[in-house]
Amino acid sequence: MQRKLQTVLRYRKQNGWLALARLAKARLGIGHPFSKISVTKQYDELIAAPFGKIIADPEQVSPTTINWFIPPVGKGSGGHLNIFRFIKNLEDLGYENRIIIVGEPQPSSAVAAKSEIETWFFPLKASVYIGVSEDIPAAYFAIATSWPTAYYVRRFLCCVEKCYFVQDFEPWFYPSGTDSLLAEDTYRFGFFGFTAGGWLAEKLNAEYGMRTYALGFSFDRELYCPMPQAQRQDGFRRIFFYARPPTARRAFELGILVLTEVCKQLPDVRVVLAGWDVSGYEIPFPYEHAGLVELDQLAKLYSRCDAALVLSCSNLSLLPLELMACGVPVVSNRAPYTQWLLTKDNAMLAEPSIEGLAQGVITVLTDSVLSAKIRKVGLAFAEQTSWVEEANSLADQLNDLVQKAEAFSKLDLCAD
């Protein structure tokens, strides 16, 4: 209960009272103090009627138009950042993108939402729409970006092709129950899936028969690079840890247990905690509290560290690659959803136990030869990646879908 209250208060601090009230109303069906809690309200849009006009002639819709259905935008959201990166790069390739924000809490207006995207991330040409509306224009592609948005895309009639930008296996975000089942079902909707990495592509294809194409990760070269001058000469070795308690799949508690053991064995170590405000938690070792760091300050923070502990219980985030690009050796847990990107050469992989991960961190901190090798290979690995190339791959696949649809249409005409 205490942790939930702390999460609520931090959400209010980051997004404001109004956003918190909207979220509470949407999740709990709260209307006034004596209201009953609605069981179905938060799922109403999942079972609502289709919307938009059916496209009679696909040739009348430009094959370079895309409607992206996204959840409400939050400051610091890595998932949104990835989406917006692809949108920006597709804009440079001549695509017309529209952003449709669905779900709760809704922004106050499309103008406000576009301003938040520009302020929190970067400017986009894409027009912004709020919720289900007849004003949403027709598009050749409608792309879902999370499991709730997939239900909106399924209902959206005014498109030719439906796709799914899948960044993680979302059923694992919940305990076994309603939300996990509803999330899992979206992989059976028949959408073409663009996945973050090969692990997801293989899993969705093998277990759900989903057509998939794996997109790779990269990093922002304007933000991330080694900064040796940031290293502090105070005699302490530093470990970066991505500490985000409300995101269970990032294993906050396990990380604290691991780092407690590391600090017992290496008293000259200091831990740098970033990703969330953890000032309300009792941390049993010396640490520096960075909290939620602005994007343009991350490289300097990373470069101060001699190693980084990055845990994941589902698909990796961009963090390991960004750390590699800053010359920081990465320690992570060994699993199929980490090993599609991390290897024994570009990272230190360990069994997901307190002892195994602690030993992995200690080895990196004490074996200078191994640490230098991981740093060198990690830098080279990061350098060969490119967001532009990934966007080009996405555009090629979208064009391939268009050509296949046109060929199928010609076959139908010949059959008639």
> Mean pLDDT for the chain?
90
Smallest CA-to-CA distance from 213 within 410, 361, 398, 6 is with 398
Q: Which of 99-103, 239-243, 290-294 has the lowest mean pLDDT?
A: 290-294
397 within some domain: yes
Check whether 76 has a pLDDT greater than 90: no
- DSSP-derived letter for residue 72 is P
Smallest CA-to-CA distance from 208 within 148, 156, 249, 166 is with 166
**How many domains does the chain contain in total?**
2
Task: Looking at the structure, tell me whether residues 379 and 390 fall in a common domain.
Answer: no
Check whether 19 has a pLDDT greater than 80: no
263 within some domain: yes
Question: Please, what is the Cα angle at 396 between 98 and 152, to 5 degrees?
Answer: 35
Burial of 315 (0-12, 13-18, 19+ CB in 10 A): buried
What is the C-alpha separation between 172 and 206, in angstroms, rounded? 17
- Write out the residue range of the structural domain in which residue 138 sits: 55-218+386-416
| pLDDT per residue as tens digits for the range 273-302 | 999 999 899 999 999 999 888 888 999 999
The pLDDT of 225-243, averaged and rounded, is 86
The pLDDT of residue 18 is 47
The pLDDT of residue 94 is 97
Q: What percent of the chain has pLDDT over 70?
A: 89
Task: Looking at the structure, tell me whether residues 207 and 234 fall in a common domain.
Answer: no
The pLDDT of 144-168, averaged and rounded, is 97
Top-confidence residue, 94 or 42: 94
The pLDDT of 230-257, averaged and rounded, is 90
| pLDDT per residue as tens digits for the range 314-361 | 999 999 999 999 999 999 999 999 999 999 999 999 999 999 999 999
CATH of the domain at 328: 3.40.50.2000
The pLDDT of 100-105, averaged and rounded, is 93
The pLDDT of residue 298 is 94
What is the C-alpha separation between 285 and 261, in angstroms, rounded? 9
| pLDDT per residue as tens digits for the range 46-64 | 989 999 999 988 888 999 9
The pLDDT of residue 91 is 98
What is the C-alpha separation between 369 and 63, in angstroms, rounded? 52
32 within some domain: no
Top-confidence residue, 247 or 411: 247
| For the ranges 130-134, 227-231, 288-292, 375-379, the one whose mean pLDDT is highest | 375-379
Query: What is this structure's pTM?
Result: 0.87
pLDDT band at 133 (very low <50, low <70, confident <90, very high): confident
Task: Looking at the structure, tell me whether residues 75 and 152 fall in a common domain.
Answer: yes
318 within some domain: yes
The pLDDT of residue 402 is 95
Task: Looking at the structure, tell me whether residues 126 and 165 fall in a common domain.
Answer: yes
Q: How far is CA 65 from the centre of its chain?
A: 23
Task: Looking at the structure, tell me whether residues 354 and 401 fall in a common domain.
Answer: no
Check whether 37 has a pLDDT greater than 90: no
Please report which helix (H) or strand (E) contains residue 80, including its range: helix 78-92
The pLDDT of 87-95, averaged and rounded, is 97
The pLDDT of 182-204, averaged and rounded, is 98
Contact between residue 151 and residue 51 where contact means Cβ atoms under 8 Å apart: no
Task: Looking at the structure, tell me whether residues 408 and 361 fall in a common domain.
Answer: no
27 within some domain: no
Task: Looking at the structure, tell me whether residues 148 and 247 fall in a common domain.
Answer: no
Amino acid at 210: M
List 69's β-bridge partners, or say none.
100, 144
Task: Looking at the structure, tell me whether residues 234 and 199 fall in a common domain.
Answer: no
The pLDDT of residue 229 is 75
The pLDDT of residue 256 is 98
Do strands 269-274 and 192-196 pair parallel, antiparallel, or not at all (unpaired)?
A: unpaired
Task: Looking at the structure, tell me whether residues 360 and 254 fall in a common domain.
Answer: yes
Q: Which of 10-19, 33-42, 91-100, 184-193 has the lowest mean pLDDT?
A: 10-19
Do strands 287-291 and 127-130 pair parallel, antiparallel, or not at all (unpaired)?
A: unpaired
**What are the structure tokens assigned to 153, written together?**
């895309």
pLDDT band at 39 (very low <50, low <70, confident <90, very high): confident
Task: Looking at the structure, tell me whether residues 257 and 169 fall in a common domain.
Answer: no
Task: Looking at the structure, tell me whether residues 343 and 320 fall in a common domain.
Answer: yes
What is the C-alpha separation between 105 and 129, in angstroms, rounded? 14
The pLDDT of residue 16 is 52
The pLDDT of residue 9 is 57
Task: Looking at the structure, tell me whether residues 269 and 333 fall in a common domain.
Answer: yes
